[in-house]
Amino acid sequence: MSDEIPDEALAHVAADCVCRRARMVARKVTRVYDEALRPAGLKITQFTLLVAIGKGAPGSVSLLAEALAMERTTVVRNLQLLEKDGLIRIGPEGIRRARAIRLTRAGRERLATAYPYWEKAQETLRQRLGDDDLQLTRTALEKLARAV
């Protein structure tokens, strides 16, 4: 058996790997949103967390990470940044390590400032894809998320 992977196998991975393609697309889409949100001083990860917290996200960091399909360490790091910036308040641990995580007034104001920039990113993608392909993309992403 050879220690080298055949060129055909490399071509197969490059052309057909769902994970590779999904990660490439995720990075590109993230850049669109991060660029749009820059004037509000947020990245899409932080914006998403603020929205989840504003909607009454689970109190446990682990449950919040799970609900957003994010790594727990990424959630912790971003929560610390948001708290340091005065955008959220994290209460002490309670039952089952749950914590009350709340938006501060500054957090609500930052979300209000950021929302039009988020809408701009949404509109950019809608224009680039068109309404039909945008809906197909949402459906395919939801189906992929359920499958994994």
Chain centre to alpha carbon of residue 57: 14
Question: pLDDT digit of tens for each residue in the chain (148 aa)?
Answer: 668 999 999 999 999 999 999 999 999 999 999 999 999 999 999 999 999 999 987 778 889 999 999 999 999 999 999 999 999 998 876 545 567 899 999 999 999 999 999 999 999 999 999 999 999 999 999 999 999 9
Q: How far apart are CA 148 and CA 139, in angstroms?
A: 15
Contacts of 145 by beta carbon, 8 Å cutoff, 6+ apart: 69
Q: pLDDT at position 96, please?
A: 54
Question: CA 55 → CA 9, 50, 62, 104, distances in Å?
Answer: 46, 9, 17, 13
Q: How far apart are CA 117 and CA 79, in angstroms?
A: 21
Q: pLDDT at position 135, please?
A: 96
Question: CA 47 → CA 101, 135, 141, distances in Å?
Answer: 15, 22, 20
Q: pLDDT at position 100, please?
A: 82
pTM for the whole structure: 0.86
Q: What fold does the segment set 7-147 form as a domain? A: Arc Repressor Mutant, subunit A (1.10.10)
Please report, for the chain, the start and end positions of each structural domain, with discontinuous segments joined by +: 7-147
DSSP 3-state assignment of 99? strand
Q: pLDDT at position 93, please?
A: 63
Phi/psi at 70 (5° precision): -115, 155
